[in-house]
């Protein structure tokens, strides 16, 4: 199992990959390292291993490279995405970067709808580096506001667009079924006992869960969601107060764990200070949930996902995400 001690340098590696606009870049998406969070696990839940996929290694810098590529490839295969058409979707940022990168490599224009308050660095990447057109929705309406604006744009000129609609597209969760889950199974030598992931579109949790329980039906799978409806965990949805993604099937999971924004932010700082990794707030939420779960177990191999790194400012014990 790979252990990484210099995350800042590795995060830059992902950015270097982004500049390499070749088909090989797309083929190289996936096969991310599995990090062993030994310091936090030993302190919080001795006897339990907490392992986490470092998804910022993907070209595009996040977990969303996997579903974005699969949805675009399926669109081409099914004849829904043809030469001259524009890829359109709503995104909290990471899927947008992935679509923009993929569009650039494959020769498609890309238009993205996102809340105005997504991370500044991501907005820059999409529009400046990858030439995507960005349309902003009301930040107070979050990801649901972007979904509505995107649907309106598509309905006005459906012939112009390929709208993967990541919230309702089976190719989203299937990307994780085909790639993320087999990687976890192999990287843990089949020892994984629990899997947790945050719910945004729910593609990660649904796809990985479905495949892992096929390998071993005793594996428990848990969705991580923000405890508050108004929260600061970028990329995640509070289901009770949100448009529920069509691909989300709660009955296929073992359960859910709620995390407060403050717990997620505190864990981002602990990951930085104790494990030497710099990640976004949804990664903090995932590890905070893994620790909550770990405290209820005597032993186990708990695996989770670190969806992205973040351009954060961690100073004087406080955490500020770059907006
Ligand atoms: C930072 C971040 N974390 C977590 C997620 C959730 O992943 P999924 O959409 O597979 O549920 C997303 C999705 O956009 C994200 O951008």
Helices vs strands, H then E, count in the chain: 12, 12
What atom of ligand 1 comes closest to residue 308's alpha carbon? 1
Distances (CA, A) of 263 to 59, 205, 293, 304, 307: 29, 20, 14, 16, 17
| Model confidence band, residue 8 (pLDDT cutoffs 50, 70, 90) | very low
Q: Does residue 89 register a pLDDT over 70?
A: yes
- By most ligand atoms within 8 Å of CB, the mutation choice from 92, 144, 249 for ligand 1 is 92
Q: Is 146 a catalytic residue?
A: no
Question: Distance (Å, rounded) from C-alpha 172 to C-alpha 244?
Answer: 15
pLDDT score of 6:
39
Lowest mean pLDDT of 193-197, 273-277, 318-322, name the range: 318-322
Q: What is the DSSP letter of 240?
A: G
pLDDT score of 122:
79
pLDDT score of 316:
53
| Model confidence band, residue 317 (pLDDT cutoffs 50, 70, 90) | low
pLDDT score of 319:
60
Q: Which residue has the higher pLDDT, 90 or 17?
A: 90
Half-sphere exposure of 250 (CA within 13 A, CB side): 9
pLDDT score of 12:
40
SS (H, E, C) 76-95: HHCCCCCCCCEEEEECCCHH
pLDDT score of 92:
77
Residues with CB under 6 A from ligand 1: 64, 92, 94-95, 198-204, 234-236, 280, 282, 307-308
Lowest mean pLDDT of 61-75, 119-133, 139-153, 185-199, name the range: 119-133
Start-to-end C-alpha separation, the chain: 34
**Could you tell me the two tokens for 199?**
């719910």
pLDDT score of 124:
81
SS (H, E, C) 98-137: HHHHHHHHHCCEEEEEEECCCCHHHHHHHHHHCCCEEEEE
pLDDT score of 142:
84
Half-sphere exposure of 306 (CA within 13 A, CB side): 31
Quote the pTM value: 0.90
pLDDT score of 16:
41
pLDDT score of 321:
56
Mean pLDDT of 137-158: 93
Question: Distance (Å, rounded) from C-alpha 97 to C-alpha 103?
Answer: 10
Burial class (CB in 10 A: 0-12, 13-18, 19+), 99: buried
Question: Distance (Å, rounded) from C-alpha 65 to C-alpha 120?
Answer: 19
pLDDT score of 111:
96
- By most ligand atoms within 8 Å of CB, the mutation choice from 54, 62, 71, 94 for ligand 1 is 94
Would you list the domain boundaries of the chain? Answer: 7-59+170-321, 65-162
Radius of gyration over every alpha carbon of the chain, rounded to an integer in angstroms = 18
Q: Is 64 a catalytic residue?
A: yes
* Domains 7-59+170-321 and 65-162 alike in fold: yes
Tens-place pLDDT, residues 10-60? 334 444 444 456 777 787 799 999 999 999 999 999 999 999 999 999 988
Q: Which CATH code of 3.40.50.1100, 3.40.630.10, 3.40.190.10, 2.60.40.420 fits the domain covering 7-59+170-321?
A: 3.40.50.1100
Please tell me the distance between residue 232's alpha carbon and the centre of ligand 1 in angstroms.
13
Which helix (H) or strand (E) covers residue 157, if one does?
A: none
pLDDT score of 99:
95
Q: Which residues contact 9 (CB under 8 A, 6 or more apart)?
A: none
The fold of the 65-162 domain, in CATH, is Rossmann fold (3.40.50)
- Furthest CA-CA distance within the chain: 56
**If you write DSSP's letter for every residue of 246-266 in order, what string do you get?**
TT--GGGSSEEEEE-HHHHHH
**If you write DSSP's letter for every residue of 36-91 in order, what string do you get?**
E-HHHHHHHSTTEEEEEEEGGGSTTSBTTHHHHHHHHHHHHHTTSS-TT-EEEEE-
Residue nearest (by alpha carbon) to ligand 1 atom 15 = 235
Mean pLDDT of 218-235: 94
Mean pLDDT of 213-226: 98
pLDDT score of 128:
82
Please tell me the distance between residue 234's alpha carbon and the centre of ligand 1 in angstroms.
8
């Amino acid at each position: 199992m790979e252990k990484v001690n210099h995350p800042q340098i590795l995060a830059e590696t992902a950015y270097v990959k982004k500049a390499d606009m070749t088909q090989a870049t797309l083929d190289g998406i996936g096969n991310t390292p599995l990090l062993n969070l030994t310091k936090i696990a030993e302190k919080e839940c001795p006897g339990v291993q907490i392992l986490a996929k470092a998804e910022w290694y993907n070209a595009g810098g996040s977990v969303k490279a996997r579903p974005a590529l699969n949805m675009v490839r399926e669109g081409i295969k099914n004849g829904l995405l043809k030469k001259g058409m524009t890829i359109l979707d709503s995104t909290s940022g990471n899927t947008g970067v992935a679509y923009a990168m993929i569009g650039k490599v494959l020769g498609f224009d890309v238009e993205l709808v996102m809340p105005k308050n997504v991370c500044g660095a991501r907005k820059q990447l999409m529009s400046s580096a990858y030439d995507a057109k960005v349309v902003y929705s009301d930040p107070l309406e979050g990801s649901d506001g972007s979904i509505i604006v995107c649907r309106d744009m598509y309905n006005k000129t459906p012939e112009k667009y390929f709208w993967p609609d990541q919230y309702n597209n089976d190719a989203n969760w299937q990307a994780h079924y085909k790639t993320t889950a087999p990687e976890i199974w192999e990287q843990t030598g089949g020892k994984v006992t629990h899997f947790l992931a945050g719910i945004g579109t729910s593609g990660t949790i649904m796809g990985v869960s479905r495949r892992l329980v096929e390998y071993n039906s005793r594996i428990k799978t848990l969705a991580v969601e923000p405890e508050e409806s108004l929260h600061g965990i970028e990329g995640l949805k509070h289901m009770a107060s949100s448009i529920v993604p069509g691909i989300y099937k709660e009955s296929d999971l073992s359960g859910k764990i709620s995390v407060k924004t403050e717990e997620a932010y505190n864990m981002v700082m602990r990951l930085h200070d104790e494990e030497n990794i710099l990640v976004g707030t949804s990664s903090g939420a995932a590890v905070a949930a893994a620790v909550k779960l770990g405290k209820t177990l005597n032993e186990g191999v708990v695996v989770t996902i670190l969806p992205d790194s973040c351009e954060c400012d961690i100073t004087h014990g406080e955490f500020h995400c770059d907006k």
